[in-house]
Amino acid sequence: MRNLKSVGTAVAIGLTGLSCVAAGAANAADTLAKIRDTRTIVIAHRDSSVPFSYLDDNKKPVGYAVDLCLKVADAVKRELKLPQLNIEYLPVTSSNRIPAIAEGKADLECGSTTNNAERRKQVAFTIPHFVAAVRMVVRTDSGIKNWSDLRDKRVVTTKGTTTVKLLNERDKVRSLSLKLLEGRDHADSFAMVEKGQAEAFPMDDVLLFGLRANAPTPANFEIVGDTLSAEPYAIMLRKDDPAFKAIVDREMGRIINDGEIYKLYDKWFKSPIPPKQVNMNMPMGHLLRDMLRFPTDKVGD
């Protein structure tokens, strides 16, 4: 699914990065030199960020983002003309993933990390590989198709999430008189819809598709509603290392423009995945599809 304009964009990204190599040569961050010396690239991964980055039955890191990082690792190997490149995995959590990259413990972070302005003060990001959108899961027999259908309805949100703020804003603007409930965690919130204690549960759509896929009867639920917000997920790498970033950006551009990313998406979001062979049945959203037409590491905040 090549697009001439997107090819130009990807090439421009690569050239921009390469033009900065000389300027950044004196910078302390020199990932390529480290990789060349050690013949090893360190990939940070998550344990349970399905289907982006998680452990299979053999405790091996797998997932959509992990596959992308392995392709980037191959590109680094080619660039450095190494006969062999060892892959070392480093497990990280939501709280230590940014320090792991910023402090040089890992070279790439492959998970479900949103590229935003606050994080870019500490790390860099390549072209996004996913865009999460806040929508809602409802029962298929609820008659609810969009946010305006929630008037006077019971809506559950997970405690401590930003979705509460989004819902309160939506409630205020449209005077929907929502009856807000709170779940202990995502599983608890979904269970309240399952049991009929709430009519809707808004959250990142990818999490909702995962919850639905693992429900006893997935067909009883559907994900509906216009998007309330968009979260671009991207591979993280160290700041101020233009030579390394140029390779990562160029490989991500190639994966997108050669159509490989669509095959990877279908593998992880539209096919049975390990370890339970559950199919998330999540079609590619229009936000991600549009972003892939013109790949760039520049995102809105």
131-152 pLDDT, tens per residue?
998 899 999 999 999 999 999 9
pLDDT at 7 over 90: no
Mean pLDDT of 36-41: 98
Structure tokens at 163: 């979705």
Q: Where are the domains of the chain?
A: 4-129+234-293, 137-223
Band (276; pLDDT cuts 50, 70, 90): confident
What single-letter DSSP state applies at residue 240?
Answer: S
Write the pLDDT tens digit of every residue in 253-267.
999 999 999 999 999
Q: What is the pLDDT of residue 228?
A: 87
Q: What is the pLDDT of residue 184?
A: 86
Mean pLDDT of 141-170: 87
Nearest-CA neighbor of 146 among 232, 230, 222, 231?
Answer: 222
Asked whether 237 and 125 are in contact (CB, 8 A), the reply is: yes
Contacts of 277 (CB under 8 A, 6+ apart): none
Parallel/antiparallel/unpaired status of strands 130-139 and 221-224: antiparallel
Look up the CATH number of domain 4-129+234-293: 3.40.190.10
Average pLDDT value over all residues in the chain: 88
Least confident of 89-93, 152-156, 172-176, 242-246: 172-176
Report how far residue 209's alpha carbon sits from residue 277's, in angstroms, rounded to the nearest whole number.
15
Structure tokens at 223: 């994900």
Helix (H, G, I), strand (E, B) or coil at 165: helix
pLDDT at 200 over 70: yes
Report how far residue 112's alpha carbon sits from residue 33's, in angstroms, rounded to the nearest whole number.
27
Asked whether 194 and 187 are in contact (CB, 8 A), the reply is: no
Residue showing tokens 């049991």: 195
pLDDT at 175 over 50: yes
228 or 33, which is more confident? 33
Report how far residue 37's alpha carbon sits from residue 30's, in angstroms, rounded to the nearest whole number.
11
Contacts of 157 (CB under 8 A, 6+ apart): 163, 164, 167, 180, 181, 182, 183, 189, 201, 202, 203
Does domain 137-223 fall under CATH 3.30.360.10? My reply is no
Asked whether 137 and 156 are in contact (CB, 8 A), the reply is: no
Mean pLDDT of 12-33: 52
Say whether 137-223 and 4-129+234-293 share the same fold.
Answer: yes
pLDDT at 21 over 60: no
Percentage of residues in the chain with pLDDT exceeding 90? 70
Angle of CA points 254, 128, 80, to nearest 5°: 45
Structure tokens at 193: 């819809």
Write the pLDDT tens digit of every residue in 96-121.
999 999 999 999 999 999 898 989 99
Helix (H, G, I), strand (E, B) or coil at 53: strand
Q: What is the pLDDT of residue 20?
A: 41
Q: What is the pLDDT of residue 94?
A: 83
